[in-house]
Structure 1
Amino acid sequence: MSIIIRKSLLELIFSGAFMKRWNDKLRPMELVEVDKQAHKMIVAWLLFLLNSRDLDVVRKRALGESLIEGGLFDYLYRLVITDIKPPVFYKIKENPDDYSTLTNWVIKQLRPRIMPLGDDFMNRMTAYLMQPEDKGLARRILHAAHLYASYSEFKLLKSINRMDHELIEIEESFIERLNSMRDLVGVSELLDEDSNVLGGFARMCGRLRFQKRWSQTPRVPETSVLGHMFIVATYSWFFSMEVGACRARCQNNFFSGLFHDLPELLTRDIISPVKGSSQEIGELIHEYEIRELNRVVLAPLKEGGYEDIAKRLEYLLGLEVGSEFKASVNMDGTIVEATEEQMAGEYNIDTIDPKDGPLLKVSDSLAAYIEAHTALKNGISSGQLHHALYRISNRYNETPVIAGVQVSALLADFD
């Protein structure tokens, strides 16, 4: 069965931007599911690299695949059960029959949207969700990352909810469960945010939830840079499946999406018309981004003993070839640019670590298109939103197929 990504799946992934978190607490800002999922998967990536240092390439790739799919399965499940409070959900999980009943209902709700991904994906998701007691490495990494990301949100709420009777119990639960995960390499360092560069980096990434996209344009829902990165990563994964990408290429595309806007920690969200207003301005912004990225992120990681993480970030961000939107491969230790034809042909093999820049750009554009389209559908009238839809549609009408993805046909479903 061939995999065809449809509008309904893209909208399902985006729907986490509506899903409020901690909505029984006083909040300094809206906390939404896609932001939490992005932070979780960034932390999971860090723990993945640290806990796979001694694994051979085959086992490392298998772990990476299990990690990404497990994260996506968890997210899809969460989209359906929505607002069940964690204590209630944990009680349900304690009873196998109750959990099985709930999970079968969740899978039934998801099936129409994810059937285009094929029976194999559906079967893997069902097996994963039906076995919550699994304690494999991928699952433990995801659980630790989930706890870290949720605890990070809690700390934003803590100071303004001091009269809340649940506060002490919630924090004690987070601390107890995170301490039980300290046998995983990196967990102790992540918790030491003030004096460890790894913890500082993870906390810094979480700050991207404060940066709203389209900041001068009213939208419903608003989306942050952090949540946008997760949406782009997820689209990249599914499009990679659609075009038959190899295992390494799929994983690189997902993690590239997860970090592609990381430089906006340092520059804020500069809109495309500004970046593209002239070649000189575009080059100036890019030069500043790279300089600050090296100073604030990459150099501290290298100096702190995490050179492998810094080098991997450099590859995912396309620093060696000049852009995250250029395709690249690793030829005997040298990173070189590749064409779309090469990526679909002789370069679609794990051994050269391929990464799809053009496919990432498609995912980024589609995420922006859906942000604008959803806001307009929700009654927000804005010239900027209409112009964004026109600009993206026009670009892919001229080049309807990019990196094997039939973009113009997909956009036509939104008309």
Structure 2
Amino acid sequence: MIWMLCAFNVACGGSQASPNASGAAEHAAPPTTPAASRFRLKVSLFPWIPGDTSYVRWIEEEFERSNPTIDLVVRDPAKSHDWKPDEYVGDLSYEWEKTGQALTDASSPDFQHLVEVDTMILGELVKRKAVLPFTIPDPGFLEFTRRAVQVDGTTYGVPHWTCGHFFMSNLPQIKAASSLDQLLRTLATAGRAESVDVAGDMDGSWESVMLYLDAYVDAHPTASASEATTHSRLDRDVEANLTKVGRACTHEGKNHCADDAAEAFAAGRVDALFGYSERLNEAARKGTDPDKVTIVPAALGQTDRLLLFTDALVLSPRCSAAECKDAAARFATFYTDARVYETVLLSRDGGQDAKPRYLLPATRAAFERPDVQADPIYNQLQGYVGGADGYPNQGVPAAKQSGVLRGLVANALGIKRND
């Protein structure tokens, strides 16, 4: 089969860009194949990737080098807040109605054969018949990511990224804390008096729902995260725990639970940065030494039952022809190859001063690449993801759309919102 040939080429010496004197990856021009004989594959990748967007060009060139009969066209990876108001098209990873149109309307200028979505919206796409079942030979996906791409027993996507909530600190003592109370006591006693104990962005239409679900399973370890998507008021234990976090976020009368706190963390004004692991990329660019950082899953209750998101490639119903399906499978196989992961994880597509992106891959093999394992942050993260559980792929969009949980969570945290 064609996808097997692609996998062999990548795993057995498919061209790997080598760094030049500046540390940036060198790119020989891909083999030239007449345009008329090349299949154009349109792909939208997850845009919320830290650091430089040079990885897009690297992916296009490396993939086409191994697959010269395919013209890979990657959608502009601009984040929603980077678009000019009159140019904004949509965030296809989250805006499920626009994603459904992009996957089903071949006449749309934003039509895509593959879209990398947060699987929280997968149920909505399946309901709209906007995706086809889609699998590739399993390269060793983390177990929870396999579940994240299944709806009613059918697999609709290929996992790629994952992420979740962590506390990051220069205080190694946080490693011993197994509950929220223990963590906050550690920060209060070991942290600096002039620093806020905790800071990070816990507000947002999606983030508030995700934070609540995470805190819910930490307060009730045997419960299902899905059941919390229907709550119209906060669980009493969760509310109490979020209030504790809000107090830890407060310093000299100011609440820092809605701050983009990476720079403040790098400057030593925050003892523990709350957020996704990739927030360390910005902190490192601002001066944080990752070798001195301890990162732990965010225990938001009596324990930490780590919940992680999954981002996955989903396939358009307009890609049912053999040529299109083969091209899509070739790309998904390439995209989840451990050496491709390694380049993006360690920012080898950028210059010599580029910092690792500290993203979480969805395969064990990516963590096992020698240079990834040698990184102190990835080495810590690898120990957490194996036993993680995933966010539900149904019910979350409705909870987000209602906006109820956002206001309740903000109130519990002590965040003052103007809307």
Q: TM-score range by the shorter chain?
A: under 0.3
TM-score, normalising length: structure 1: 0.26
TM-score, normalising length: structure 2: 0.26
Say which structure is richer in helix.
1
Say which structure is richer in strand.
2
